Structure 1
Amino acid sequence: MSRRCVINRVIIFVVGLFLLAQPLEAKYAAIVMDAATGSVIHQENPDKIIAPASLTKMMTLYKTFQALENGTLTLNQKLPISRHAANQAPCKLGLRAGRAISVQDAILGLITKSANDASVVLAETLAGTEAQFAVTMTSQARHLGMSRTIFRNASGLPNSQQVSTARDMARLSQSLIKHFPRYYRHFATKVFTYQGASHRNHNHLLGEVIGYGNGPIVIDGIKTGFTNAAGFNLAASAKHGNQRLIGVVVGGENRHWRDRRMKQLLSWGFGVEGTKAPKLMKTQYVQIADLIDAADQDVSSPQGKKRKAAPAVEIKKAKATAGKKVSVMKASATKSKWRIQVGAFGRAKDAQAALRKAGSKITVLTRKQRTPHVAAAGKRKKIYKAQFVNMTQVQAKQSCSQVKKSGLECMIVQG
């Protein structure tokens, strides 16, 4: 191993110890940056440690584009699919071990479907193993000025040690645009067809006109992400004339809220007439837990895996005006306005099965409170949330504790 490689590993390890000592809270953060100059137009908690979720794939793509530029890869090159890649949790293309996928298809799979299996194929091709690839990702992050980012995998699937900030994600977005203009256009792909199946891009703002100046201002990228720990994340970009802006929103309470916020921030950044100056946003109750990666609304939960959940963070919604600090308030422990969620699934029967399994572990609830509740959400694709409702805060905490002790997943929700 070269001396430089050893030094890089030591630096990453030391920085990692510092970052992991910081509290990881799923809290809203945002930044708007000029892509050419790097000047910041708007920011809220830009350096707060967050879970990047599938925004991670931007670095996987950065390293892939780098390999294409230096000739290590070609777009038509076929890459072998390992068992490890094929066994990744959704979102995925459904790749099969022993077969192959082209670099071009793997890239588009990441951009549109946010395919975790394709991410690992690229990682293993470029570095031998996904773990080694994560080391090169973190090293690349340092070269790009991403000082508070650590990568542990190529996909963004839950890992409490994988951390970043809104500012670092904006720097990564800027680097993708600046260093690989030839490949950046792929981020505008709305639909990708692979082996007869069409995959729509999870970024529903693609092609959205957010205003007019000397022509329409259109969003043309970049990447979405979601985990229960992270909330709903989005890195986006739009160009007007010679100016291009980059926006990053993390910790959104849902996709629609996140998208509206991004449109407001970019519109304000471009000076679109009638756009109000953005105010600091309210925070939300969040349970930090290593649950599932949905890469937006395509949610599923890998079964049979035990994960160590990070501490719960409960923050009551509190309004704040621009320039004022968001206040943190203690919630009532007596009102029955709490619930717990033990998963989110693409099929109602899977949600019901999760509820039955979790319900058998809970002893602190009444029979009525243990009644399964499946909440459907989403317009194009229904997502079924497996929940127990009508609890006090104390009951919710105790119930989640019992569920987690049995090796299952659980998050606390207010309302």
Structure 2
Amino acid sequence: MYQRKSSVIERSAAISSSVLQLLALIGIALSLGSAPAAANPKYAGIVIDAKTGETLYAHDADELRYPASLTKMMTLYMVFEALERGAVKLDTRVKFSANAAKEPPTKLGVGAGSSVTVEQVIYSLVTKSANDASTAIAEHLGGSESKFASMMTAKARSLGMSRTTFRNAHGLPNTSQTTTARDMATLGIALREHYPRQYKYFSTRSFTFGKTRMGNHNRLLGVVRGVDGIKTGYTRASGFNLVSSVIDRDRSIVAVVMGGRTGASRNEQMKDLIARYLPKASTRGNGNLIARGAMSNMAVAVASLELPKVGPVPSQRHEGNQRLVFAYAAPTPEPVVGRAALVNSLIAQKVAIPTPAPAMIPPMPVETASNQAVDPVTTASTSPRDGWMIQIGAMPDRNAAVELLARAQGAGGSTLSRAEPFTMAYAKGNEQLYRARFGGFEGQAAATQACATLKKKGYACWATAN
């Protein structure tokens, strides 16, 4: 009898020990917050606080991966840039060459010699991820797809995407076309910061072309609170990729998942990252992490970070602080354009800053009246707005006005999610100022409500119909 009890006790102890071990393993797996990483060598991920640039999560974020259709984020960046400088308009016709028409699906299916508008190209890229439209716009803007790919790579370098190389505009397989999760996060932030008016296209749920309705491949839109874009991607070599922008109340992040085994598992990992790290994002910080325009080289990009007002320039990395890293000790040159390359971890957070080949970097364009986004002489913007709008300030510098708008849109949350930020140049005596405004309100009540929200956040604001 005693022996039987002893045996039962021993078995019970063994079972209890096994249960405890299993629970411990489950706890460890849950605490890692990146379960796909352990079983999937293709996986890479990152979460960036879009207000401060701090890296909230990273797994193989600087390892090379294939972008697949995330490539189209840069294609669209180039399109938005062309729209801003007036090289094209939304109704400009884009002709499909035989080369564009023969691209494999997914595609619009436009025949060689036919054309669509620039806006239709944009919609087709953000929803259906059309490969033929990508090639067509690349040939339209660059003369050839290969030249456009070189332009894309140069633009990537100017934004601080030091490990990204583009060979085509669509992301179809090319072993030389590589990127990293960190670089894709940088691009996502740049799209939001530099082109807030055009960025709204990424939230498009569906697009009708002819008799065909094309739904957005991004299944998180309208499902996960705060998600307002950006892009999905898949090839057999890359796995399932996704870049997500999330703005919820006073917090904002950009998250990247690359190399998912399935679309469903990729989406679940993204949901998990958002749930875990959005609450950890800062409620303060002005965003504006990435300077506009090309940099002459990466050293200039680093040197144009927001350096201390006094004291020597640090000459080496500071390992204990991921938020701001310097690796350039020469005298600080003037910032090239706007506020400066990357604040916090977006440049050289993990490795020393590489110097890209100078040949890949185009010369810095001189801002003239012909390429400015606003007219420097007249008292209105180049795109006059009608109806009710709100104004939150006037700045002597356009970049400062743009930064103010970006901060306010982040603070405004859903109230400003569909508003269109823009600047208006006007003369005040001998001084030129830039009004920072939002348009697109349905009436006075909507504009007044938006102002009330912003005033609670500490912004000056008033509604106007002119």
Instruction: Please give the range of the TM-score, normalised by the shorter of the 2 chains.
Output: 0.5 to 0.7
Say whether the 8 Å CA contact 2:251–2:279 is kept in structure 1: no
2:133 match: 118
1:221 match: 229
Say whether the 8 Å CA contact 2:62–2:182 is kept in structure 1: yes
Within 5 A, what are the aligned runs for 1:116-265?
116-209=131-224, 217-265=225-273
Instruction: Name stretches of at least 5 consecutive residues in structure 1 with no aligned partner.
Output: 1-24, 210-216, 273-415
| DSSP 3-state at the match of 2:226 | strand
1:336 match: none
Instruction: Tell me the CA shift for residue 240 of structure 1.
Output: 1.1
Identity across aligned pairs (percent)? 49
Distance 1:201 1:83 in 2: 26
Say whether the 8 Å CA contact 1:144–1:172 is kept in structure 2: yes
Indicate whether 1:268 and 2:276 are aligned: yes
| DSSP 3-state at the match of 1:74 | coil
1:103 to 98, 118, 139: 118
1:69 match: 84
1:57 to 43, 55, 72: 72
Say whether the 8 Å CA contact 1:223–1:234 is kept in structure 2: yes
Letter in 1 for 2:134: S
1:30 to 45, 50, 53: 45
- 1:294-318: CA deviation from partner (whole Å, max 9, x where unpaired): xxxxxxxxxxxxxxxxxxxxxxxxx
Letter in 2 for 1:69: E
Distance 1:40 1:86 in 2: 41
Letter in 1 for 2:277: G
Letter in 2 for 1:237: S
4+ aligned runs moved over 4 Å, structure 1: none
| DSSP 3-state at the match of 2:165 | coil
- 1:165-190: CA deviation from partner (whole Å, max 9, x where unpaired): 00000000000000000011110111
1:15 match: none
Instruction: Tell me the CA shift for residue 251 of structure 1.
Output: 0.5
2:61 match: 46
C-alpha RMSD of matched pairs (Å)? 1.2
Letter in 2 for 1:36: K
Instruction: Tell me the CA shift for residue 53 of structure 1.
Output: 0.3
1:92 to 107, 112, 117: 107
Instruction: Tell me the CA shift for residue 241 of structure 1.
Output: 1.6
Within 5 A, what are the aligned runs for 1:357-372?
none
Instruction: Tell me the CA shift for residue 50 of structure 1.
Output: 0.3
| DSSP 3-state at the match of 1:222 | strand
| Count, aligned residues | 241
- 1:269-320: CA deviation from partner (whole Å, max 9, x where unpaired): 1229xxxxxxxxxxxxxxxxxxxxxxxxxxxxxxxxxxxxxxxxxxxxxxxx
Instruction: Tell me the CA shift for residue 265 of structure 1.
Output: 0.3
| DSSP 3-state at the match of 2:76 | helix
- 1:188-223: CA deviation from partner (whole Å, max 9, x where unpaired): 1111000110001111111123xxxxxxx3211000
Distance 2:263 2:209 in 1: 25
- 1:69-93: CA deviation from partner (whole Å, max 9, x where unpaired): 1100101111111111101011101
| DSSP 3-state at the match of 2:242 | strand
Distance 1:257 1:221 in 2: 18
Say whether the 8 Å CA contact 1:26–1:230 is kept in structure 2: no
Say whether the 8 Å CA contact 2:100–2:133 is kept in structure 1: yes
**Which structure shows the higher helix fraction?**
2
Distance 2:48 2:90 in 1: 31
Instruction: Tell me the CA shift for residue 26 of structure 1.
Output: 6.0
Instruction: Tell me the CA shift for residue 36 of structure 1.
Output: 2.6
1:326 match: none
Q: Please, what TM-score do these two structures have when normalized by structure 2?
A: 0.51
Q: Please, what TM-score do these two structures have when normalized by structure 1?
A: 0.57
Distance 2:141 2:54 in 1: 33
Change in Cα spacing, 1:26 to 1:129, as seen in structure 2 (3 Å) is farther
Distance 1:78 1:70 in 2: 17
Instruction: Identify the range of structure 1 (30-39 vs 52-61) with the bigger mean alpha-carbon deviation.
Output: 30-39
Say whether the 8 Å CA contact 1:138–1:149 is kept in structure 2: yes
